[in-house]
Amino acid sequence: MSRKNNGAVAVKLTAGDKVFQICVRLFLAFLLVVIFIPIWSTITLSFRPASYIGSYLDGMFLAPWKWSNLAYKALLSNSGFLSAFFNSVKITVMGVCAALFLTVPMAYALSVKGVPGKKWIVIFVMIPYVFNIGVVPTYLLISKLGMVNKLASVFLPVAINTYNMIIMRQFFEGIPNDLRESAFIDGCNDIQIMFKIILPLSKAIIMTIALYYAVAFWNDYMRSLLYLQKSSLKPLPLLLRDILLGASMNDNLEASAFGSAPIEAIKAASVFISAIPMVVAYPFIQKYFTKGTLAGSVKG
């Protein structure tokens, strides 16, 4: 070890440490390339003009001034695509709000010591996490409740995710109990403590769990396929499925709905557009994401 002028201690790396760092950097660079290639392939494919003639690999290196935005114009001007996009936005926004409205109070209640029947409540919550009742009973229940062909059928039955609730409960349990006791002495009740003390200290975990729910609702496919039978309620994942499946079966129905744009470019553009909201949202939540995940997974 050597000491710098400012008093900091600099650790002298051995030859093995340097080799290890080089290997780690090469490995990370390799991962970056592996991740970047399919993303770049999708982007270039979405901008590929209808007159393009060449191999798939050559298309990845097509000059930007030869790109065509015909696929994006066709998608954004198609009423079916816009309707599906906004349906997905509605499902995601309402789903996240409903999920946080139910998950936060439940996680807080289970984090408080001395709650009557807390042990049995935890067992009751864990049962559906361990045992899945299946698709048919769930569909029959949703049908009996009259929720078929309603957007709420996609997010309301899964508004409380057991895993997310456990992570949030662990975070709440890590908050010093002295804060609650001090608030009780000052005359606050449990609701006031949760809103005025616990929640302001829990922005990291709330944003993290909100991101978990948002990604799940945005990408939901199976529940939308089962419960949303009207075409006007079709969310983006179902529309993408129709486009991809219709193209793979040489069905011109979906292709003709988007004008003269190449179907391959339509497929790539639809995939790229569907990923944009989560990509845009993640940088704003990233500073909370790591802190919330680590604090929620380790008590204290």
Please work out, in degrees rounded to the nearest 5, the angle formed at the alpha carbon of residue 147 by the alpha carbons of 142 and 150.
135
- How far, rounded to the nearest angstrom, does the alpha carbon of residue 53 sit from its chain's CA centroid? 37
What is the structure's pLDDT at 297? 46
Question: pLDDT tens digits, residue range 211-261?
Answer: 889 988 998 888 888 898 888 888 888 888 877 776 544 444 444 556 566
Strand partners, 3: 9
Distances from the Cα of 36 to the Cα of 29, 42, 70, 223, angstroms: 10, 10, 24, 31
Burial of 97 (0-12, 13-18, 19+ CB in 10 A): middle
What is the structure's pLDDT at 258? 60
What is the structure's pLDDT at 93? 93
Of 259, 300, 235, 267, residue with least CA distance to 73: 259
8 or 187: which leads in pLDDT: 187
> How many percent of the chain have pLDDT more than 70?
85
Query: 3-state secondary structure string, the chain?
Result: CEECCCCCEECCCCHHHHHHHHHHHHHHHHHHHHHHHHHHHHHHHHCCCCCCCCCHHHHHCCCHHHCCCHHHHHHHCCHHHHHHHHHHHHHHHHHHHHHHHHHHHHHHHHHCCCCCCHHHHHHHHHHHHHCCCCHHHHHHHHHHCCCCCCCHHHHHHHCCCHHHHHHHHHHHHHCCHHHHHHHHHCCCCHHHHHHHHHHHHCHHHHHHHHHHHHHHHHCCCHHHHHHCCCHHHCCHHHHHHHHHHHHHCCCHHHHHCCCCCCHHHHHHHHHHHHHHHHHHHHHHHHHHHHHHHHHHHCCC
* Distance, CA of 231 to CA of 235 (rounded, Å): 9
Q: What is the dihedral of CA 247, 248, 252, 254, to 10 degrees?
A: -40
What is the structure's pLDDT at 100? 93
Which domains are assigned to the chain? Answer: 2-68 (no CATH), 73-297 (1.10.3720.10)
* Distance, CA of 205 to CA of 111 (rounded, Å): 14
Q: Is the pLDDT of residue 162 over 90?
A: no
Question: pLDDT tens digits, residue range 85-104?
Answer: 899 999 999 999 999 999 99
Question: pLDDT tens digits, residue range 16-25?
Answer: 778 888 999 9
Burial of 218 (0-12, 13-18, 19+ CB in 10 A): buried
pTM higher than the cut 0.85: no
Question: pLDDT tens digits, residue range 41-86?
Answer: 888 888 888 777 767 677 777 777 778 888 888 888 877 888 888 9
What is the structure's pLDDT at 3? 52
Question: pLDDT tens digits, residue range 35-45?
Answer: 888 888 888 88
